Amino acid sequence: MIRAVIVMNTQGKPRLAKFYDYQPVEKQQELIRSVFAALSNRAENVSNFMEAESIFGPDSRLVYKHYATLYFVFVFDSSENELAMLDLIQVFVETLDKCFRNVCELDIVFNYSKMQSILDEIIFGGQVLETSSVEVMKAIEEISKLEAASNAISLIPYASGWSRR
Amino acid sequence: MSGPSIMETLFQRTLEDLIKGIRLQLIGESAFISKAMEEIRKEIKSTDLQTKSIALQKLSYLNSLYFVDMSWAAFHCIECMSSSRFSLKRIGYVAVSQSFDEQTPVLLLITNQLRKDLGSVNEFEAGLALDCLANIATVDLARDLTPEVFTLLGSSKIPVRKKAIGVILRVFEKYPEAVRVCFKRLVENLDSPDSRILSAVVGVFCELASRDPRSYLPLAPEFYRVLVDSKNNWVLIKILKIFTKLAAIEPRVAKRIVEPVCDHMRRTGAKSLMFECIRTVVSSLSEYEIALKLAVSKIRELLVDEDANIKYLGLHALSIIAPKHLWVVLDNQEIVIKSLIDADANIQSESLRLVMAVISRSNVVDISHVLLSYGHKSDPDFCNEIIGSILSACSHNLYEIVMDFDWYVSLLGEMSRIPHCQKGEEIENQLIDIGMRVRDARLELIRVGRSLLIDPALLGNPYLYRILCAAAWVCGEYVEFSTNPPELVEALLQPRTSMLPPLIRAVYLQSVLKILTFCMYSHLQKQSSISFPSSHNLEGVMAECVSRRKTRESSDILTSAQDDVFNPMISENILCEEDIPVETKGENLFFEKNRFSQESIVNLLNAIESALEPLLGTLEVEILERARNVLGLIDLIKQQIPNHLSPEEESFSREASEVWKLIRSMNDAFCEELGPVSFTAQEKIQLPEGLVLEENLRELDSIYGILQPPLNFLPQREERVEELPDSEWRSRDDLEPSNESTSLLVEHRKRHGLYYLPSGVSNDYPLANDPRSGEHDYDENEDLIRLAAQSLAPKKKPNYSKPRPVVVRLEEGEATSHIVSKKPNSKYDLLSGVVQDVLQETNPMESSQKGKEKVSSDVPPGSKENLQDLVDPMGERSGSGKSKHRSHGKERGHKIPKKNDREKDENCERARQKGSHRLGRKKTRQRAEGQTDLHAHTPGQIPDLLL
């Protein structure tokens, strides 16, 4: 089971944080901080796995990937395969890339909700439900359409997180 | 829509505005956020749902990334969630999933909304509801919504169905009874041709099986089919995870899957699947040689891979296999050792763990040196990790792997000097522990302790304080091994000791007192012409002899190198001291001249006095008290021997007799051996009848009053008087309490001897602190580990093999902890109970079918053959699966969503009845066929369908 997904920049600012077992906000903040502290201590070109039991308790592993100014962090337990999780990060980032054409940190900052729904399509309640970025994209487009349609009824249109940049 | 709300909406900041505002940081982030929060609090109260939802969206954002509390907005979340517009609904759902927990009070209000949305024709609405349920389902929600989830499990829309499957995990966990309704349909989904569905189901079973594998054994044939047929790596990885659990508890499963797992290992190009196969083999299939060989060769491939991830996983696989097949690690030793200097901390610590796995008595010396030299080179964290693992490996089971304690003690000293060593506490404990347990190591302990104490630079490192504390204690306690006690005193009183924390400094002062007492004692002993009984024996009689002589002699060099005062006693002493080894004879003779002389003693006294006097003004009571003790003693000595500088020893001995008495009893007191105490020592003492531990002790005051001066109070079981019969320590006079003991104490001791530490021969009470009691299995170590004084008498040796309380207790403790950790919590117990129930309802069909087959194909029913049948019945089973499918289709007819709880319960009831009917039918059929297979019907048995 996946316990948490965190996207943060290299300054430690979280860009997306999703915990699949309920954590109070103070705890979330603390966890994100300690993950960042641990990540920023790691050299370049080392393995993508990290000891996480000291942060997330027993039976927890952590895989991260560093893209430009962002860290993508997945925390999971022994019922997931480490390399598969690494692939999953790849799927997530690929999907973001398709969605935003050459994704960069700014896209992620301004499209918080969209990123969230992409993640929700891939990981559902801590389980991996979709591993194909094509399928995810399909679903995301459908959702966007639905939202646009439901907004069109509104008297006053507003720029939602969904409107393209 | 009313006027104000239009205005609100017009001028409301959207999420995007909020993000931009935060990024601009005109007024600082936290100020901006609190301003935004003010706005949100206002907006969220709006009657316009649009306005409210945007406010909620912003709030969720701030909650998720800026950790703002949003629990107060629970009701607003529900309002948005109930909107008919998808975009608002979605905002509401996201907020609910994010912020609700079991304690949220309004949780009960969402049941109906969820039910409505779960039944929605819009797959995305259903998806939102499922997602929400997967995150926040409580017992109530799970119970109330089970029928809806059941319906969705059969949904024709793949995305909905897979989410419904995903939500099952949470529903089962919260409400185990749901198993009765949903389990069959969940299992049917294992037959789904769609890989996404299959992946979801297998994922759910993987989670379920990881919590309680035994309940899912009956599904092994289904899983096996997936293992053989599936081409999807995600699915295969999860299936392998399931089988890793199942194979660990059921050897027949293990036997069946060896072949397919090896096939996958050979065929696959995906490293993730390959690693999972390896992990399955090393954790559950390591008895199968073919599989193990293949896995080991693959591990080697991983180990030499360029990619750090792969290499790390290779090491990880090694550490899984290490306990069972150490040779695999030894084969790859070189890579493991090399990985110690890897740039990656994970790889380093993984290889460290492996190195520790191969450590043994024969290689501990080499490995420790190699590791420490790596430690010097690596970063502080890893260095400490290394030190920590050496310490724990060596101290394991009372230093089981340490043969040479001199080496180990000096290793401890070496560790202490590593600049970023932070294991002070552990080293402290071990130094003291070894001092108490291992007599032969004391000489080396003193040597190491001295070099630590004497180095002023070490006093600047707070991490070392604990170690210095141990060193000071050791030097005080075992001062008789010291080559130069005055030098120790000097080290203990050096000016920089003022940097130490008070409690440690107190230990320093206490050690000064002990050393002083010892010096005075050996000095006065000569003076009063009491021949000094012979010395201790360490590794050999000789070495010890030398060191002991040296001890006293060299000590004087510092204080009075030019001491030429002729003392007649010296020659006497030389005479009575036997066996000075030839090679050191000259040296010793030189030192003989310089034994503690009057002058050196006076110098020592003066030095202590001048160092301690400033401490009388300290505010730290511990220091103050100890300083006063020492100074008091010095005062006393000085008064009693006013003309000690004169060489007229006759008058001297008379005058000194008082001091002599005092010093002797103090020395005797300090000579008491301190033994290690077992954790369980206290428990072993049976509470005698009539003893009330809480009783007021005031009565003791009267006894206390009669007691003689406290110096004589300490029991004197063993004098520091030793001889060396046959390189064996022996304590003399064990039975005879020193004549100075107060009669009262003796009396008390006689009456309540049980509560005194055992001292003598006649002690049938098991030694609480005897670590050897559990270690008889390695006799060669016997002469290394020595215990408290009581256990040293040769007569007592046979006793060691008698009771082994210590280790037995330890094992018990371990065993219980194991059991506790293995015990699944009650929730899963409940769940597995229901799962087993349900599986038993389904099983008979299969078992009977298989029974038929067996009969028809004339295979004699034997367990071996049965095993081989695993696949065949499965072929058969797919048919039966289909038929089951059909029957379920019918069943589904009955079960189509019932919004009513009571109906649902009825539903369950019906399902149960149906199961039992079938069971009955099966039973009769079986009887008709003369197949009596009780296994299938006995709960908890290995399910028949496995065979």
Mean pLDDT of B365-369: 87
Chain B partners of A45 at a C-beta cutoff of 8 Å?
A: 308, 343
Chain B partners of A13 at a C-beta cutoff of 8 Å?
A: 65
- Residues B148 and B182: beta-carbon distance below 8 Å: no
Interval B922-943: pLDDT, tens: 444 444 443 333 343 333 444 4
Domain ranges, ordered by start, for chain B: 213-358, 359-477, 496-671, 681-685+704-817, 826-946
- Judge: B345–A127 Cβ closer than 8 Å, yes or no: no
The CA distance from A56 to the nearest CA of chain B, in Å, is 17
pLDDT of residue A76 exceeding 50: yes
CA distances from B535 to B169, B532, B547, B673, B782 (A): 73, 8, 10, 16, 22
- Judge: A151–B204 Cβ closer than 8 Å, yes or no: no
Of B177, B182, B180, B181, the residue nearest B166 (C-alpha): B182
Interval B145-197: pLDDT, tens: 999 999 999 888 999 999 999 999 999 999 999 998 899 999 999 988 888 99
Mean pLDDT of B340-363: 85
The fold for domain B213-358 equals: Leucine-rich Repeat Variant (1.25.10)
Q: What domains appear along chain A, each with residue ranges and CATH number?
A: 2-152 (3.30.450.60)
CB-based contact (8 Å) between A67 and chain B?
no
Lowest mean pLDDT among B168-172, B188-192, B218-222, B909-913: B909-913
Among the partner-chain residues A83, A124, A142, the one whose CB lies closest to the CB of B163 is A124
Q: How many residues are present in chain A?
A: 165
Token pair in block for residue B206:
């993987």
- Higher-confidence residue: B705 or A22? A22
Cα gap B636→B617, rounded to integer Å: 21
pLDDT of amino acid B280: 93
How large is the ipTM?
0.91
CB-based contact (8 Å) between B159 and chain A?
yes
Chain A partners of B12 at a C-beta cutoff of 8 Å?
A: 158
pLDDT of residue A62 exceeding 90: yes
The CA distance from B421 to the nearest CA of chain A, in Å, is 20
Residue B576 DSSP SS3: helix
Chain A partners of B14 at a C-beta cutoff of 8 Å?
A: 158-161
pLDDT of amino acid B743: 59
Lowest mean pLDDT among A43-47, B167-171, B267-271, B912-916: B912-916
Percentage of chain A beyond pLDDT 90 is: 59
The CA distance from B258 to the nearest CA of chain A, in Å, is 20
Between residues 109 and 148 of chain B, which touch chain A (CB distance below 8 Å)?
A: 122, 124, 130-131, 134-136
Cα gap B587→B546, rounded to integer Å: 10
CB-based contact (8 Å) between B9 and chain A?
yes
The CA distance from B808 to the nearest CA of chain A, in Å, is 29
Residue B897 backbone class (left: φ over 0; alpha: ψ -120 to 50; beta: rest): beta
Interval B738-758: pLDDT, tens: 444 455 555 665 666 555 554
CA distances from A28 to A25, A34, A120 (A): 5, 10, 19
Strand partners, A9: A70
Q: How confident is the model at residue B464 (pLDDT cuts 50, 70, 90)?
A: confident
DSSP B161: H
- Higher-confidence residue: A46 or B792? A46
Percentage of chain B beyond pLDDT 70 is: 64
For chain B, the distance separating the N- and C-terminal CA atoms, rounded to the nearest angstrom, is: 70
Q: How far from the centroid of its chain's Cα atoms is residue B266's Cα?
A: 38
Angle at B378 between CA B374 and CA B380, to 5 degrees: 120
Q: How confident is the model at residue A89 (pLDDT cuts 50, 70, 90)?
A: very high
Token pair in block for residue A8:
């943060």
Kindly tell me the sign of the dihedral angle through the C-alpha atoms of B669, B672, B674, B680: negative
Mean pLDDT, rounded, of chain B? 72
Q: How confident is the model at residue B95 (pLDDT cuts 50, 70, 90)?
A: very high
CB-based contact (8 Å) between A54 and chain B?
no
Q: How confident is the model at residue A88 (pLDDT cuts 50, 70, 90)?
A: very high
**Exposure pattern of B505-534 as b/e (b: 16+ CB <10 Å)?**
bbbbbbbbbbbbbbbbbbbbbbbbeeeeeb
Token pair in block for residue B3:
């006027």
- Judge: B15–A29 Cβ closer than 8 Å, yes or no: no
- The top-scoring range by mean pLDDT among A96-110, A139-153, B671-685 is A96-110
- Higher-confidence residue: B906 or B560? B906
Percentage of chain B beyond pLDDT 90 is: 22
Helix axes B139-153, B178-188, angle to 10 degrees: 30
Between residues 282 and 321 of chain B, which touch chain A (CB distance below 8 Å)?
A: 308-309, 311-313
Q: How confident is the model at residue B116 (pLDDT cuts 50, 70, 90)?
A: very high
- Residues B945 and B873: beta-carbon distance below 8 Å: yes
pLDDT of residue B873 exceeding 70: no
Lowest mean pLDDT among A15-19, A125-129, B664-668, B943-947: B943-947
The two beta strands, A61-67 and A70-76, are antiparallel
- Judge: A113–B237 Cβ closer than 8 Å, yes or no: no
Among the partner-chain residues B16, B61, B87, the one whose CB lies closest to the CB of A147 is B87
CB-based contact (8 Å) between A45 and chain B?
yes
Q: How confident is the model at residue B595 (pLDDT cuts 50, 70, 90)?
A: low
- Judge: A82–B275 Cβ closer than 8 Å, yes or no: yes
Mean pLDDT of B208-220: 90
Interval B35-74: pLDDT, tens: 999 999 999 988 888 889 999 999 999 999 999 999 899 9
CB-based contact (8 Å) between B68 and chain A?
yes
Which residue carries 């399955």 as its tokens? B280
Q: How confident is the model at residue B105 (pLDDT cuts 50, 70, 90)?
A: confident
pLDDT of amino acid B527: 66
Host H or E run for residue A127:
strand A127-128
pLDDT of amino acid B842: 61
- Higher-confidence residue: B754 or B606? B606
**Exposure pattern of B67-78 as b/e (b: 16+ CB <10 Å)?**
bbebeebbebbb
DSSP B660: H
pLDDT of residue B826 exceeding 70: no
The CA distance from A109 to the nearest CA of chain B, in Å, is 8
DSSP B757: P
Mean pLDDT of B864-879: 41
pLDDT of amino acid B276: 94
Host H or E run for residue B94:
helix B86-99
pLDDT of amino acid A151: 77
Chain A partners of B200 at a C-beta cutoff of 8 Å?
A: 127, 129
Q: How confident is the model at residue B562 (pLDDT cuts 50, 70, 90)?
A: very low
The CA distance from B909 to the nearest CA of chain A, in Å, is 30
Chain B partners of A25 at a C-beta cutoff of 8 Å?
A: 63, 67-69
Cα gap B557→B484, rounded to integer Å: 9
The CA distance from B162 to the nearest CA of chain A, in Å, is 7
| Most B-contacting residue of A45, A47, A108 (CB-CB within 10 A), to test interface | A47
How big is chain A by its Cα radius of gyration, in Å? 16
Kindly tell me the sign of the dihedral angle through the C-alpha atoms of B874, B875, B876, B878: positive
Count of A–B CB contacts within 8 Å? 170
Among the partner-chain residues A22, A46, A84, the one whose CB lies closest to the CB of B308 is A46
pLDDT of amino acid B401: 84
Q: How confident is the model at residue A18 (pLDDT cuts 50, 70, 90)?
A: very high
Q: How confident is the model at residue B29 (pLDDT cuts 50, 70, 90)?
A: confident
Host H or E run for residue A65:
strand A61-67
pLDDT of amino acid B131: 92
Q: How confident is the model at residue B263 (pLDDT cuts 50, 70, 90)?
A: very high
- Higher-confidence residue: A7 or B817? A7
Interval B626-677: pLDDT, tens: 999 889 888 888 876 655 444 444 445 555 577 778 888 888 888 877 777 7
